[in-house]
Amino acid sequence: MNVLEVTDLRKHYPIHAGLLRREVARVRAVDGVSFHIAEGETLALVGESGCGKTTVSRCILRALAPTSGSIRFDPGQGGTVDLATLPKRALRPLRRHLQMIFQDPYSSLNPRMMVGDIIAEPLKVNGVPAAERNARVLELLDLVQMPAVARTRFPHAFSGGQRQRIGIARALALNPRLVVADEPVSALDVSVQAQIINLMLDLQDRLKLSMLFVAHDLSVVRHVSDRVAVMYVGRIVEVAPTDALYRAPRHPYTETLLAAVPAPDPMRRGRQMKASGEVADPAKPPPGCAFHPRCPYAQDRCRVERPELTEVAPGRWASCHRAQEIELTGVA
């Protein structure tokens, strides 16, 4: 059963100019994105800064209104709702089922509130009685491996990793159906990143979480995701089960992202292409395949004909004209 089904999602920003405010260009931040998340599954949405992944997550949370497309969400009450078109008032009761873990643990916690009140806030908003709230806060602190005494302290008393644990506890307070984690470890030191990833693995195991894990590179999502969707200039260019994508990518852009992943044994990595050049401008994407100016495998056809996302093997999708003929290198 799918908790989330996103179909042909678009978020465009028209640019107007002149006295008549005519549309002169259109930034296609998200341009026809489709994916699903099954119950208990973690999907990683990965791509460089500006690829549209954060816009996708903000559309799901309705912090942004999509231009078109549907976002069907199953809140677990029998039937699904389309978050893309639901009026804001109707969204409010659904918020408890859809929670977010923020990127920056320093700015996402109110410095004037004690940790216990921060974690209890969503419970309070949803009418949970005080006695139950206190018991639940203790349970949640234990779940994220923080001491009970933390509830009477303020966020500044804690390190970045501990603050992220508090943010995770708050996100889990209402047992949400879906958690959107927006780069939850990118603001942390590498050693602390590993601790938070381990905590998330533990929580996935214990709570069977369904999660959209947004990240800018492939180095952090390998162990935390079941499948990976790679985005480039507003579109998904590859979707695959995590292990398969790391071992043998089917899109050249995925191969370049994998080139940045530290290899356990660099001697086994072999030839791996690194893309040159800048990410394309979503207001003026190149014709044909948007990746062609950076792609070491580009041919004439790539410069004029845009490849569609097609199934290249069971459960594996890629948008590349040459997905079936070129052999790309993954990581061991």
The sheet carrying 81-82 orders its strands as 22-38, 2-17, 68-73, 81-82
Q: Does the protein bind ligand SF4 through residue 317 (CB under 6 A)?
A: no
CB 84 within 8 Å of CB 71: yes
In angstroms, what is the minimal distance from the CB of 327 to ligand SF4?
12
**In this chain, which of 179, 181, 289, 309 binds ligand SF4, going by CB under 6 A?**
289
> What's the burial of 45, exposed, middle or buried (CB within 10 Å: 0-12/13-18/19+)?
buried
For residues 216-275, which are near ligand SF4 according to CB under 6 A?
Answer: 251-252
| Measured distance CA(108)–CA(91) in Å, rounded | 22
Distance in Å, CB of 228 to ligand SF4, minimum: 17
Structure tokens at 285: 């994407």
DSSP 204-242: HHHH---EEEEESSSTTTTTT-SEEEEEETTEEEEEEEH
Residue the block writes with tokens 């207001």: 283
* Interaction between residue 307 and ligand SF4 (CB under 6 A): yes
The site that binds ligand SF4 (CB under 6 A) totals a number of residues, namely: 13
User: Which range in 50-58, 67-75, 126-134, 289-297 contacts ligand SF4 by CB under 6 A?
Assistant: 289-297
User: Does the protein bind ligand SF4 through residue 322 (CB under 6 A)?
Assistant: yes
Q: How far separated are the first and last CA of the chain, in Å rounded?
A: 32
Both structure tokens of 157: 């008393």
- Looking at the Cβ atoms of 28 and 321, the one nearer to ligand SF4 is 321
Least Cβ distance, residue 328 to ligand SF4 (angstroms): 10
CB of 287 to ligand SF4, least distance (A): 11
Which residues in 90-149 contact ligand SF4 (CB under 6 A)?
none
Please report how close the Cβ of residue 321 comes to ligand SF4 at its closest, in angstroms.
4
By CB under 6 A, name the one of 258, 320, 328, 331 that touches ligand SF4: 320
Helix (H) or strand (E) segment spanning residue 197: helix 190-207
Q: 160-172 vs 130-143: helix axis angle to the nearest 10?
A: 130
Q: Which of 10, 28, 165, 321 binds ligand SF4 (CB under 6 A)?
A: 321
Chain residues in the site for ligand SF4 (CB under 6 A): 251-252, 289, 291-292, 295, 297-298, 302, 307, 320-322
